[in-house]
Structure 1
Amino acid sequence: MPTSASVPLPTSPQPSTRRPGLDAFRAEAHDFVAAHHPLRAGAESPSDEDFSVLPEKTAALEQRELESALSWRRTAYDAGFGWIDGPVEHGGRGLPAAYASAYRDVERQYEVPDEAYTRFSVAILCPTLLSHASAALREEVLTPLRRADTVACQLFSEPDAGSDMASARTRATRDGDSWVVDGQKVWTSGAHYSRVGLLLARTELGTRRNAGLTAFLIDMDQPGIEVRPIRQLTGGSSFSEVFLDGARVLDTRRVGDLGAGWQVISTTMRYERAIIGTDGGVDLLLARRLVDLARSRDCWDDPGIRDAVGEIVAHGRAAALMTQRFLDQADDSGIPGPEMSLSKLMLTDNLLRISSTAQRVLGTGFATDSGEAATYAWHQLALTTEGLRTGGGTDEIMRTIVAQRVLGLPRS
């Protein structure tokens, strides 16, 4: 599956030396997005949307959406909206994070392509590379990643390690100016259409846990790398397992110092949890759909249903405010702190509340696709929420991080 068109890179957009006011910036963003996409319409009925947290796509649909997402990403980048809060030397506009947040709010009002295809490359990998990659590697890859000329995936989890990435066994052996990689990764999103992968490998034999691990940016389209889709409970295959057998990566593609892979992936995971915890108010959107569902089933006047929806909305708004405070209080590095684990945990907890409330409304229809409005959509939400509770670290790991690194409680 192709990842990008063969087009020359444009000159990086030149940011204005004068910072626009936030209201003026929002107006600029609205004008830009509206010139390319229509406003997002509300659902005509509770069954008009797919409520899956991890939606399943056919290969043909995925290909069309991928091409559309990459094209829109390039259009936004070329217009100066590709890295609003990024460094000017790498094509960013150098504006505060509030401007990037404002632009995301504007995009959500329009029918723009699904950004999930580029989320890891743009929102997680790029800031990680800014913190840990060499100047030469940053110069080489940041613009292609932000502009979606290159799509990346994450090669961390392994069959015998799961969320315990310190137990990684994939091995990288030095061979002159490159490394030879052997091992297996699992639960990799987007591996089948990614051009590069952020790889965690053990470079020092005999080391244990987080010692002796190194991060690399490895080319995915080379001999020695095989991607196999994983058939999931929902019937789709949005994740893959990746086998590495003699794959090679140049030492110039090493991210961070030798043996410093744990620091690199810790940064990456914090950004990932921040993205999950601030995922566009998905729980508040679903709360509105719950109201539509309850009204369609003539049970919105049920005090228990109203109370449950009210609790969902309260938790969602509280989590959004708390997460924004965490981001505003980030240190000078800009790397999200361990508090973002709490943001992710609050989102997954709220999705469980939503799923439970939908089950109360639908009754036995929750588990069957009877053709009635929303039955299948809400059932898919229940199945895929479990995947979100695992991705980026399980709920149990999130609670441990909050206990030890936020609250300062002793290790058990």
Structure 2
Amino acid sequence: MNIDLETFCQQAEEFISAHYPRRSARAGSEHAAVAVIPERSAAQEAAELPEAIQWRKTTFDAGFGWIDGPAEFGGRGLPPSYADAYRQLERRYAVPDEGYTRFSVGILCPTLLAHGGPELNGRYLRALRRADIVSCQLFSEPDAGSDLASVRTRAGRDGESGDSWRINGQKVWTSGAHYSEVGMLLARTEPGSRRNAGLSVFMIEMDQPGVEVRPIQQLTGGKSFSEVFLDDARVSAQSLVGEIGRGWDVINTTLRHERAVIGSDGAVDLALVPRLIDLARRHGCWDDPVVREATADIYARAQADSLMTLDFLDRAEGGMPGAEMSLSKLRLTDNLQRISALAQRILGGSFVTELDDDFGWSQLALTLAGLRIGGGTDEVLRTIVAQRVLSLPRS
């Protein structure tokens, strides 16, 4: 379908505005939470999840659910710039939180396109993009967080026919495991193999016997992450993503897309700038030149990083984000750290004592550490940038 970008944006805005109102310039209450990893109560999640899923179905059925995706799986086959334009438009409206389906849509689907094969893709791609199925990522373990080559979860062939596998092990820090129907799981399929050799990736049903999900209590009081215990859980041979023993290739693709999703979400730091200004005004320090200069620096960095990331994505070959997306994630988390530090400067002791209804900024500080670990720690990403982007020698 040929359509120019201007006409597409007009149609997209007409569609979104027919369902949801525009966001206010203040983006919510001045005392609202500003956590980069949202923490929701069970009641809030129960109310939000169905609405988020229904919005995915509505957008998909209207032709906006996979704008740059292949037509055979319900996509429109338009350039990535159209998908980015739609995302920019959608952020102006009070649509449901996309965090519930972010992994399914932005990370798992492109990974399956690259490694899944016809059967898996036919089974999952349309369903994931439409939120008929919600998924999670089962990679990290208690002793293998940033170092995924150290995973110990085992997958052994089940029976003489070898048409299924039994999974045993433990995963941790899994976002959304408690409401996901399927998971993308990394396991060691070659006994005695070491490091990144002998690893394989499977799609696994989360509601089967042998899969136990236990929520993890956060510093902020939320339970958005879980640990998952696998005791003879089964997956079929048809659930394999990629090739046996070549799981490292699959997870590299997954992590590239994960870093692209995190790094390209420049709306996070840009959206917090008006909140910072409001905070400074309420606490009588907006005329402080140090505060104003720091705010301007944060805003300039956010704008520059957003343009840099768009350039990275435009130059991505075949839709595959390059190693440079590690820089985008680093820059985003660095700017969020600057925002947190400035909020602490403005609030002083009340940042900790919560005397003035500004606990939301404390949530930013408490959740930021998790963002700097998820998708690769700062140290890992700096090494990737040094070696794969700048071609510096190994130290």
Structure-2-length-normalised TM-score: 0.97
Alignment of 1:243-282 (within 5 A): 243-282=229-268
CA contact (8 A) 1:213 1:262 kept: yes
CA contact (8 A) 2:30 2:275 kept: no
In the alignment, does 2:159 pair up with 1:177? no
| Paired-residue identity, % | 63
Q: Which structure 1 segments of 5+ residues have no match? A: 1-16
Aligned CA RMSD, in angstroms, stands at 1.1
Aligned AA (2:135)? A
* Structure 2 CA distance for partners of 1:80 and 1:34, relative to 1, 3 Å: same
Q: Structure 2: how far apart are the matches of 1:335 and 1:37?
A: 32
For residues 119-156 of structure 1, give each alpha carbon's deviation from its aligned partner in whole angstroms, at most 9, with x where no partner exists. 00011000000000111110111111000000000000
Question: Which piece of structure 1 moves more, 287-296 or 219-228?
Answer: 287-296
2:196 corresponds to: 210
Displacement, 1:42?
A: 3.1
Displacement, 1:321?
A: 1.0
CA contact (8 A) 1:46 1:293 kept: no
Aligned AA (1:387)? G
Residue among 23, 40, 44 paired with 1:57: 40
CA contact (8 A) 1:43 1:49 kept: no
In the alignment, does 2:368 pair up with 1:368? no
Alignment of 1:145-160 (within 5 A): 145-160=128-143
Aligned AA (1:342)? L
2:96 corresponds to: 113
For residues 164-192 of structure 1, give each alpha carbon's deviation from its aligned partner in whole angstroms, at most 9, with x where no partner exists. 00111100001220000000000000000
In the alignment, does 2:63 pair up with 1:80? yes
What secondary structure does 2:165 align onto? strand
1:313 corresponds to: 299
CA contact (8 A) 1:29 1:103 kept: yes
Displacement, 1:280?
A: 4.3
1:127 corresponds to: 110
Residue among 309, 324, 328 paired with 1:323: 309
Q: Which structure 2 segments of 5+ residues have no match? A: none
Alignment of 1:219-238 (within 5 A): 219-238=205-224
Alignment of 1:40-55 (within 5 A): 40-43=23-26, 47-55=30-38
Residue among 265, 269, 280 paired with 1:294: 280
Aligned AA (2:376)? G
In the alignment, does 2:322 pair up with 1:337? yes
1:139 corresponds to: 122
- Structure 1 stretches of 4+ with a deviation exceeding 6 A read none
Displacement, 1:340?
A: 0.5
Q: Structure 1: how far apart are the matches of 2:34 and 2:222?
A: 15
CA contact (8 A) 1:151 1:194 kept: yes
Q: Structure 2: how far apart are the matches of 1:66 and 1:111?
A: 15
Aligned AA (2:121)? R
Q: Structure 1: how far apart are the matches of 2:330 and 2:18?
A: 37
Displacement, 1:27?
A: 0.7
CA contact (8 A) 1:46 1:289 kept: no
* Structure 2 CA distance for partners of 1:159 and 1:362, relative to 1, 3 Å: same
What secondary structure does 1:20 align onto? coil
Q: Structure 2: how far apart are the matches of 1:148 and 1:210?
A: 32
Displacement, 1:48?
A: 4.1
Q: Structure 2: how far apart are the matches of 1:282 and 1:368?
A: 25
Displacement, 1:271?
A: 0.4
Q: How many residues align?
A: 392
Q: Structure 2: how far apart are the matches of 1:401 and 1:183?
A: 29
